[in-house]
Amino acid sequence: MAAALASPAAGWRPRRLLITRAARGFDHGRSIMARAAALGVDIVELPGDRLTLPKSDDPRRAYVEAKATLAVVVAPPSKRRLQPISPSADWRVDLAEGCPAHCSYCYLAGSLSGPPITRVYANLDEILDSLPDHLGKGQVTSRLARRAHEGTTFEASCYTDPLALERLTGSLSTIIAWFGRWQADAQLRFTTKFADVEPLLAIAHAGRTRMRASINPAAFARFEGGTARVADRLRGLRRMADAGYPIGLTIAPIIAAPGWEEAYGALIDDAAAALAGADHADLTVELITHRFTAGSKAVLDSWYPGSSLDMSDAGRATKRTKFGGEKQVYDAETMRRLRFFFEQRIGGALPKARILYWT
Ligand code: SF4
């Protein structure tokens, strides 16, 4: 399904930008409005703070309209309260909610409710102000010796892909520069399926931001509509390494479809080739297998009815979530084979990489 008006390489250009009255009260909100206007996006200044979209009885039409919409809103205090986000980081910090891409496994389908409008936050300064209170209070980096040197970690890509929005918002550059100035034992983290890192390269980041490229084999690109090509993501990652950023690979979601061993073997080789000679790089790897809940499956089936992504019960096991729900993961034997394969291949092709976790 295609709703983006520009290619991923050129950056997302939504069809319209909605900005609430409250968001117009913030410099950052007005700056996003000005950036979008300069790109020729239709600007709709809402009279109040409620988001409204043209009504449609056709769910596919409603999906397309929502995915083509960027909303600038104010994050209320409940959204600014940081949440623990193991195993990725100590804390989740949200610059936005939603994503313009069309991945047929997208975990946001189970996390966010309502039409998939991308909402960006105008009160970025208030979000940043809340971070120092969380310093030294996380669980993930303090508990694991291999991550202790990272300090308190803050993950910015739980509910969005912040690089996808950067041309329109500048929020990611702002928070990277903020961490660069923050004289604290802390790290910002983000992962992305996009590639346009140009605005980030010259920022004084002080090594306090780790970018990870979220990658999957080209053979599975059909599941990742609207994202940048994997080769471009790897090129972007290499440019970030050369700009002195700590970097990482998020191999996610790992899909045990027929031919997965060859496909992921080639992917790991491609990553090693893209990073060859970047021996200065502090490189991590995160390994996340495909999973879904009944709720996310129902949403994804409605958004991507023709998808060939296997979400049947075959080869699956039910696992309890920490919130008392249930999710479908690969069964124990598949998980064992996958894990063995990834640890072996990564150890051989990227011997200096630290695998942070497997899930
Ligand atoms: Fe979801 Fe990430 Fe794909 Fe965006 S890029 S649709 S957040 S999986």
Task: Assess contact for 17 and 43: CB atoms under 8 A.
Answer: yes
Task: Assess contact for 54 and 60: CB atoms under 8 A.
Answer: no
Confidence (pTM): 0.95
pLDDT of amino acid 7: 55
Residue 156 three-state SS: coil
Q: Beta partners for 70?
A: 17, 118
Reported ipTM: the value is 0.99
DSSP state of 349: H
Task: Assess contact for 271 and 311: CB atoms under 8 A.
Answer: no
Strands (E), 20-67: 42-45
Calculate how far, in angstroms, residue 303's C-alpha sits from the geometric centre of ligand 1.
13
pLDDT of amino acid 3: 42
pLDDT, tens digit, 9 for 90 and up, residues 186-216: 999 999 999 999 999 999 999 999 999 999 9
Among 7-21, 77-91, 159-173, the minimum mean pLDDT is found in: 7-21
Give yes or no for residue 103 CB within 6 A of ligand 1. Answer: yes
Residue 295 three-state SS: helix
Calculate how far, in angstroms, residue 8's C-alpha sits from the geometric centre of ligand 1.
13
Calculate how far, in angstroms, residue 102's C-alpha sits from the geometric centre of ligand 1.
7
CA atoms within 13 A on the CB side of 51: 20
**CA–CA dist 223, 218 (Å, integer):** 10
pLDDT confidence tier of residue 140, bands split at 50, 70 and 90:
confident
Q: Beta partners for 73?
A: 121
Classify burial at 52, counting beta carbons within 10 Å of its beta carbon; exposed 0-12, middle 13-18, buried 19 or more: exposed
- Tokens in use for 59? 């769910």
Cα–chain center distance at 66: 19
**CA–CA dist 299, 137 (Å, integer):** 35
Give yes or no for residue 97 CB within 6 A of ligand 1. Answer: no
Calculate how far, in angstroms, residue 184's C-alpha sits from the geometric centre of ligand 1.
30
Please report where in the chains the tokens 């890509």 appear, as a residue: 157
Averaged confidence pLDDT in the chain: 93
For range 305-325, the mean pLDDT: 91
Q: Which of 193, 222, 224 to mutate to test the pocket of ligand 1 (most atoms within 8 A of CB)?
A: 193
% pLDDT > 70, the chain: 97
139 pLDDT more than 60:
yes
Which atom of ligand 1 lies at the shortest distance from residue 192's CA? 5
Calculate how far, in angstroms, residue 161's C-alpha sits from the geometric centre of ligand 1.
7
93 pLDDT more than 90:
yes
4 pLDDT more than 80:
no
* 161: nearest Cα among 220, 217, 224, 90: 224
Q: Which of 108, 160, 299 to mutate to test the pocket of ligand 1 (most atoms within 8 A of CB)?
A: 108
Q: Which of 67, 103, 166 to mutate to test the pocket of ligand 1 (most atoms within 8 A of CB)?
A: 103
Calculate how far, in angstroms, residue 269's C-alpha sits from the geometric centre of ligand 1.
24
- Label residues 141-174 b or e (16+ Cβ within 10 Å = b): beeeeebeebbbbbbbbbbbbbbbbbbbbbbbbb
Helices (H) and strands (E) counted in the chain, each on its own, are 12, 17
Element (H, E) at 89: strand 89-92
Instruction: Work out the number of other CB atoms within 10 angstroms of the CB of residue 258.
Output: 9
55 pLDDT more than 70:
yes
173 pLDDT more than 80:
yes
Q: Beta partners for 319?
A: 327
Calculate how far, in angstroms, residue 104's C-alpha sits from the geometric centre of ligand 1.
9
For range 52-75, the mean pLDDT: 89
